[in-house]
Amino acid sequence: MSELSIWLDTYDDLYSDFDPRPYGKRLVSHDFINELKRNMHEISGGPVQLGLFIPEPARKREAESEIITSLQNYFFKNLNVAEHALRKLVQQGIWMGLIGIALLLIATYMVYEAFPGFLATAVTVVLQPAGWFLVWNGLDNIFFESKELKNERSFLGKMQDCSIQFRSLNSATS
C-alpha cells in the first residue's frame, strides 16, 4: 500500500476559504486537490492510504469522521462527473467522425456522378472541408481531448478507493 501524506495546519486547509458551512457540506479546496494530484504522480499503482497530519492541539477527533465522509463523497461525485464527461466526449467524437464520413461520401458521390452545374459544385466544395473537419475533430476528441479526462478519472478513482486517516503531527515523526 502506498502512502500519500499531507501536512495541514487546520482542517480548514482541506476546504474553500469562502465556504462557511459545516465540514460535511463545505466545498473541497482546489489547492488541496492540486496538491493531491501533484503528489499522486509520485505514487505507483495499487491501494493508496492518505495520511492527513495535523498538529495535536488543532485536532478535533469528533469532526474527523465527518470530514473523511465529506472527502469520500467529493471523490465519488467527481468520479461520476468525470466518467460522464468522458463518455459524452467520446460519443461526440464518434458522431462527429461518422457525420464527417457521411459528408465525404456524399461529396464523393456528387463528383463521381458528375452532377453538372454550379449548385452541385458549390455543395461539393462545402461538403469536402466540412467532412474532413468533422472527421479530424472527432478523432481529436477520441484520442487527444479525452486524455485529460482519463487522467482525472484515474486520479479520482484512486482517491475514491483510498483509505483516509488523520494523524497527529507528533506521531508522524515517531
What is the arithmetic mean of pLDDT over 121-132?
A: 92
Helix 61-113 vs helix 146-161: crossing angle, to nearest 10: 150
Interval 74-98: pLDDT, tens: 999 999 999 999 999 999 999 999 9
Whether residue 89 contacts residue 79, with contact meaning beta carbons closer than 8 Å, is answered with no
**pLDDT band of 172, cuts 50, 70, 90:** very low
Whether residue 29 contacts residue 14, with contact meaning beta carbons closer than 8 Å, is answered with yes
